[in-house]
Structures are given as C-alpha cells and as structure tokens.
Structure 1
Amino acid sequence: MRTPLAAPHWTVPMLCQTCGDATSPSFDECQNCYTPLGQPAVTPGLETYSVRGIGLAASIAVGVTAAFYLLSSLAPVAGMVLARQAERDGNSEVLLGALLVEGLLTLPFVVAYLAAAVLVIIWTWRARKNIDAFPGALPVLGQGWAIAGWLVPFANFVVPVRVVANIARDSLWRRSTPWLVVVWWAAWLVFSVGERLFTRKNDLEFARLPETAVDPEDFQAYVDYYQGALGRNAIPAIACVVAAASFIMLIRKISAAQQDRIARATPAWPFAPVPGGFAPGAPGTFAPPQPVAAPAPQPVAAPAPQPVAAPAPQAAADTPPASPQVPPVAGGTIGA
C-alpha cells in the first residue's frame, strides 16, 4: 500500500512595512532598511514632525548664503579697480569706495547666514526627533544636541556632524555614514577655519597700508593688497560653495526619505471603512467609527380609492325561494 504524499507547505513571505521588501525569518530585521520584523514604519504613539517645508526653506537659505559669500569674496576686484582709478585721478578719497562696496556685500551675507543658521537648527532638531519614532534606528546623541551642538564653542566642530550623520544613516537606511556627510563637513571646516584665518590676515595687511595715498607707490600698495586678498578669499569661497551644495543635497534626501516613511504609517483606506469595524481590503487595520447619515424620508403614497359595490337588488316577492343546498356527496356534484 502506497502512502499518500503530504501536501506541499507554501509559506507567504512577510513584507517589510517600511520599505516593502520581502523579509526572511532567518534574520530578525529587514536586510534593506533594518526595521525589526513585524514592526511598523513608525512607532505608534510617538510624535513625528514634517521636515519637507522647513527643509526646503533651509536649502534656499543655505544657497542664498553661499551666493552672498561668493559675492563678498569678490569685493577685492572692486578695490583693485578703484585703486587704479584713484591713482589716475590722484585722489585718495576714491579708495573709500572700496570699503563701501565691501560693506554693502558683507551685510546681506551676515543676514542670510543668520537666517540659514536658524532654519538649519530647526530642521536638524525635527529630523533628529523623527528618528526616535523609527523602529530599528540607532540614535547616538540626545535630541538636545541637535540644537546645542551648533552653539557650544569647540563642540560645534564635532557634534553637528555626528548628529547629521546619525540622521542620515537612520533615514537613508545605511549602517555606515554616507560619503556626502563627509564631503559636507570637510568643506564646512575648511570654510569656517579658512574664513577666520584669512579675514585676520587681510585685516593685518590692510593695517600696514598708508592712511593717505600720495605717490604712485602708495596706490600700488593698495592694488597689491586687493590682489592678495582676492587670492586668499578663493579658498574659503570654494569650500563654502562645496559645503552648501553637499548640505542642500543632504537636506533634500533626508527630508524626502523621512516624509515617505511617515506617509507609510498613515492609514489609507482602499474602500469606505465600516463604521466602528475593520476596513475591507486592509486586514488588521481598524477603521474609526464614522457618523452614519439618517435615511431620507420616503414619500408615502396615498391609498388608491376602493370602488364601493352597489347593494344587490332585492329579490321579487313572488319569486320562489331557491331550493336548499344539499350537502356534497362523494362522487356527486354540488347543487340540485
């Protein structure tokens, strides 16, 4: 006697609720986004923040700041032109125009820099706050460092990059720090340190210039100063542009990834939910009770008038009465 074969056991792979990839029971987390098996995209009950709008505003502010700094670093070009003009005219007061141009270009940079700093700090705090609600995330520093890290002296050379690297890893599904974070912070350090050093160098060189230019040698000294300042400004200017471009890319990537993950945690009903029950087509998803509209009153049709039967005429008095009815007999007919 042959033993019947057992029916094949088919297993349906579980899909990750964060990235949608098929997961394997051999691992306790998704191999794509590192979300623990069975966990939702966002931990219920933990607050999340929108980062798309503030990220766009911060990106624009960072770009505008870099543009204004690039213009201010080119201010020595105007100084060289005015120094040569002063030499031709023999008028040293023309040199004051170079200081005016530098001030007009520096003021917008300072305003844009302060606005960008505020927006970047807000964006960093919100993005850092969001990863606390992402199952599988590995926070390194507390939420407060997302703000204090930019403001505390000396700590602002290390803490901001650690916070942003942590945000990037947990938002972009990486276990290692993305290279874009390294490029951004390296360029930022070159800009921050170089801008301070070269600004001090320019101030010392300017203090050695003659207060009142009289002969051609004095005017040439101003031309040489502005040429040297233009070359010194080139290094922090290039670093500023690289840092701004890489940071804008980081903001856009992280903001888009976080918004997409938060959107996955928002229930979307494929059908109208059943009041107080489960939504069809979405197993395991509870539909909140919905108000049920009262049915509209239906018009009641008036009963049709029934015809009134006329009374039967009375039989004539002289008509003989009908013979009495005979009870029915089996096999017979009714009536006589």
Structure 2
Amino acid sequence: MQCQTCGDATSPSFNECQNCYTPLGQPAVTPGLETHSVRGIGRAASVAVGVTAAFYLLSALAPVAGMVLARQAERDGDSDVLLGAMLLEVALSLPFVVAYLTAAVLVIIWTWRARKNIDAFPGALPSLGQGWAIAGWLVPFANFVVPARVVANIARDSLWRRSTPGLVGVWWAAWLLFSVGERLFSRKNDLEYARLPETAVDRADFQAYVDYYQGALGRNAIPAIACVVAAVSFIVLIRRISAAQQDRIARATPAWPVAPGMPVPGAYAPGMPVPAGAPGPFAAPQPVVAPAPQVPADTPPAAPMVPPVAGGTIGA
C-alpha cells in the first residue's frame, strides 16, 4: 500500500506513513475542507521582503554619503552642503517604509493561508488557531513569540518534520535582532545628531559631522546584517513551504483522464442542462429520429372532360 501524500510504501506495523506522517488510508487533503493557493502570494511576499531588505541596506549605508558630503563641506567652507546628507537619508527612508508595510501585509496574508491549509492535511498537529496567524503579528509583546510558533508549526506540517526546521530559528533570531537593534540604534543616531552644531563654522564643527556619520555607519552594521539574514532565511522558508503545500494540494486533485465509470467534471449527465452549441463531449446526445416515409401529396380530382355543344358559345 502506498501513502497518498508522499507515495512511499507504508507498513501495517505503523499507524502512519513514516515519511510524511499521514495516517494510513487517509488522503493527502481531507475532503470537504477548504484550501488556498500559496504559490502566488508566496512569490509576492518573497519579492516584497527582498525589496525591503535592499532599501534598508541603502539607508544603513547612507552615512557613507554623509561623510563624503561633510568633508566636501569642510573643504568648501559651506555648511549648506550638509543638508544634502540629511535629505538623502530622508529620501532613502521613505521607500523603505513603503516596502516594509507592503511586505508586512503580504507576509500576514501568506501566513494565514498557509496556516489554514494545514487544517486540511491529515496527520498535521496545529498548536495555535488560525486567528493567531494574523493576530500574532499585531498584538504587542505576543509578536515576539507567536509568529515564530505559527511559522514553525506550518513548516513542520508542510515539510513533513516532527521537529522544527533550524532555518525557522535562524530567521526568528535574526528578525528579533534586527527589530530591536534598528529601534535602539536609530534612537541613538537621533540623539547624537541633536548634539551636532546647527551651523558648522570651523574645522571642529565639520569634523563633528564626519565623526557622527562614522559612528552611525558602525551602529547600522548590526541591524543591517541581521536584516539580510532574516530576509534570506524567510524567503527560503516561504518558497519551500509554498512548494510543499501546492504539491500536496495537487495530489488531492483528480488527474485527467479518470478511470472508467467515474464522473468527469464538466461532462454531460442525463437531466443536466447543456448550453446551446456546446461542442464535443459536453453536448447532450440528440435522439436519432428515422426519416418519415415520403407520402405523395393528395392531388385534386381532375375535372371531367365535357365535349363542346353547339350553340353553347355566346353570340353563336
């Protein structure tokens, strides 16, 4: 006997498949339970996560341009050049915020769909309800733990694991380091910038700006590295989980052609209305009617021939 989920041979000595843990005799997807496609939303979420990480890297490297502009301002003796560095940071932070919000929405949708799908997988062991796939990201303090538990549950039941894949731990540790580090170092950068002279007039003032940007670049390094690790690991998780779920859902979809005697989706059945002009096998069979015998049409009887009589003509 073969498992309907992974195709491996099963043994009656066990109550479940030893590869995918589906109970013996159970289909890949429980009939009647709704499933959702995660391939498209998974791709969109992966792209959004990657774009967000790229924009954050650009904003984290913005102090490099700040150092260059500060030295240029010192050589030219023009403090207005320093405004360019501040405007550059603002210009790079706006696309990051937009990409971050977009990625957050797509990731939440993907997480909810993937979590809902495992309810239809026989042998799955969900530990948290579907609502936590959304609320876990939004509830304060809970968002430090719940999203990791939800994704770990999805990964185990989608990738046929009894233990949580290590990549989930790498992703969540890097995400927490980025989230906390970005807030702390961003606040530190703001405090350091507030201490700078509003108008640089001498060499010491310009050097203070150079030192600030050097320090900001070093402080940004930790959350930037964590951001890249979190983004790459999460993209890999999304792609692996999406592919595994789509493959399992596809196994539960009847293939074409079907066995003889099985109903064919979309085919005509007796008593079923068929649209006019439906071609091929979708058209209703038409009854064969034998041609009617040709019956000669009745002809009116011929009028009797009366011989002409003399004097019968007017004027004769």
1:93 Cα deviation (Å)? 1.2
Does 2:73 correspond to 1:73?
no
Which residue type is aligned with residue 62 of structure 2? Answer: A
Displacement of 1:208 in angstroms is: 1.2
Match of 1:112 among 99, 102, 118: 99
Which residue among 280, 285, 290 is the counterpart of 1:294? 285
SS class of match (1:92): coil
Q: How many residues align?
A: 280
Q: CA deviation at 1:269?
A: 3.2
Q: What residue number does 2:19 align with?
A: 32
Q: Which residue in the other structure is 1:21 paired with?
A: 8
Alpha-carbon distance in structure 1 between the residues aligned to 2:208 and 2:293: 110
Deviation at 1:291, TM superposition (A): 1.0
- Give the 3-state SS of the residue equivalent to 1:129 in structure 2: helix
88-97 or 46-55: which moved more? 88-97
SS at match of 1:32: coil
1:1-336 map, 5 Å? 14-271=1-258, 278-279=261-262, 287=264, 290-291=267-268, 293-295=284-286
The higher radius of gyration belongs to 1
Please give the alpha-carbon distance, in whole angstroms, between the structure 2 residues aligned to 1:113 and 1:77.
Answer: 23
Deviations 1:207-262, CA, capped at 9 Å, x for gaps: 11111111100000000000010011011111101100000000000000000000
**Deviations 1:282-302, CA, capped at 9 Å, x for gaps:** xxxx65683163258589699
Distance 1:39 1:296 in 2: 44
- Provide TM-score, normalisation by structure 2: 0.85
TM-score by length of 1: 0.80
Partners of 2:266 and 2:114 lie apart in 1 by 33
CA distance in 1, matches of 2:46, 2:157: 21
Question: Hey, what's the Cα distance between the residues in 2 that align with 1:238 and 1:69?
Answer: 10
Using the TM superposition, give the Cα deviation of residue 29 of structure 1 relative to its aligned residue in structure 2, in angstroms.
0.4
Q: Structure 1 CA distance, aligned partners of 2:290 and 2:68? A: 92
Identity of aligned residues (%): 84
Residues 280-333 of structure 1: per-residue CA shift (max 9 Å, x gap): xxxxxx656831632585896999xxxxxxxxxxxxxxxxxxxxxxxxxxxxxx
Q: Which 4+ residue blocks in structure 1 deviate beyond 2 angstroms?
A: 286-290, 295-303
Q: Which amino acid aligns with 1:244?
A: A
* Consecutive unaligned residues in structure 1, runs of 5 or more: 1-13, 280-285, 304-336
Matched to 1:170, the amino acid is D
Task: Please give the alpha-carbon distance, in whole angstroms, between the structure 2 residues aligned to 1:81 and 1:299.
Answer: 96
Counterpart CA distance in 1 for 2:200 and 2:266 is 84
Question: Aligned to 2:232, what secondary structure does the other structure show?
Answer: helix
User: How far apart, in 1, do the equivalents of 2:135 and 2:122 lie?
Assistant: 25
The Cα of 1:268 is off from its aligned counterpart by 1.2
Corresponding letter in the other structure for 2:109: I
Q: Distance in 1 between matches of 2:156 and 2:210?
A: 49
Question: What CA RMSD, in Å, does the superposition of the two structures yield over aligned residues?
Answer: 1.8
